[in-house]
């Protein structure tokens, strides 16, 4: 999408876990959406989302527990005062989508916060830093794919991938030793060419 010249790209991650945290390597602004009453408070702390969020949304803010979640989140943010880059994430309450007037106003408030964050990134020089981090992550991902795809394909075709998996499963080897053995073998072949 970026290569096609799109100015604004919105990416929704798969949920709380490693993929959601990895988004920090690709996004200018990270918006974390929480919903009251489903244990998001605990998940937020576990997943490290406090550190990566530029903006928090409490979705379905008309539900019971929304104000409590807002207070807990505010307390946690006040303890950290500001993120490492000097930005304090705002908390945006988004209410009932079936109430068009208030929903539109809530959504407009979110857009304003995202725009303010983008201005902050530009003025502080953090946008350049994030774009550099993104480029480094893309190089890392592409290089990993280029190196790993032929290795995994070769191991799968020869049946060795299953063999190594069985060794690890039966505790006859550990993943790091197996990876080292495979790396040494494949890179040795490259050096001999």
Q: Give CA 57 to chain center in angstroms.
A: 16
The closest alpha carbon to 177, from 190, 189, 164, belongs to 164
- The pLDDT of residue 5 is 81
> Which residue in the block uniquely carries the two structure tokens 């030793």?
177
Q: Are 126 and 118 in contact (CB under 8 A)?
A: no
pTM value is: 0.75
- The pLDDT of residue 47 is 53
Task: Give domain limits for the chain.
Answer: 18-124, 131-192
Using DSSP bridges, classify how beta strands 55-59 and 91-94 pair: parallel, antiparallel or unpaired. parallel
Cβ-in-10-Å burial (0-12, 13-18, 19+) of 98 comes to exposed
Which H/E stretch holds residue 65?
none
82: left (phi > 0), else alpha (psi -120 to 50), else beta? beta
Q: What is the pLDDT tens value at each position of the chain, 193 positions in all?
A: 777 888 888 887 776 554 557 788 888 998 988 888 766 555 555 556 677 889 999 999 999 989 988 988 888 888 775 556 688 899 999 998 888 889 999 999 999 999 999 999 999 999 999 999 999 999 999 998 998 999 999 999 999 999 999 999 999 999 999 999 999 988 875 555 5
> How far apart are alpha carbons 116 and 47 in whole angstroms?
26
> How far apart are alpha carbons 109 and 184 in whole angstroms?
55
| DSSP-derived 3-state class of residue 3 | coil
């Amino acid at each position: 999408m970026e290569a096609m010249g799109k100015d604004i790209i919105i990416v929704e991650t798969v949920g709380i876990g490693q993929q959601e945290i990895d988004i920090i390597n690709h996004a200018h602004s990270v918006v974390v959406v929480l919903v009251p009453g489903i244990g998001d408070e605990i998940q937020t702390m576990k997943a490290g989302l406090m550190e990566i969020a530029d903006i928090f949304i409490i979705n379905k803010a008309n539900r019971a527990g929304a104000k409590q979640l807002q207070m807990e989140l505010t307390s946690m943010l006040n303890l950290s005062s500001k993120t490492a880059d000097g930005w304090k994430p705002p908390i945006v309450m988004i209410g009932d989508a079936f109430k068009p007037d208030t929903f539109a106003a809530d959504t407009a408030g979110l857009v304003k916060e995202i725009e303010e964050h983008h201005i902050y990134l530009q003025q502080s020089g953090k946008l350049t830093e994030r774009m550099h981090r993104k480029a480094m992550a893309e190089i890392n991902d592409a290089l990993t794919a280029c190196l790993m795809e032929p290795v995994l394909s070769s191991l799968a075709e020869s049946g060795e991938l299953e063999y190594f998996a069985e060794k690890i499963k039966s505790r006859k080897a550990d993943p790091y030793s197996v990876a080292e053995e495979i790396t040494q073998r494949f890179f040795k072949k490259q050096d001999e060419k």
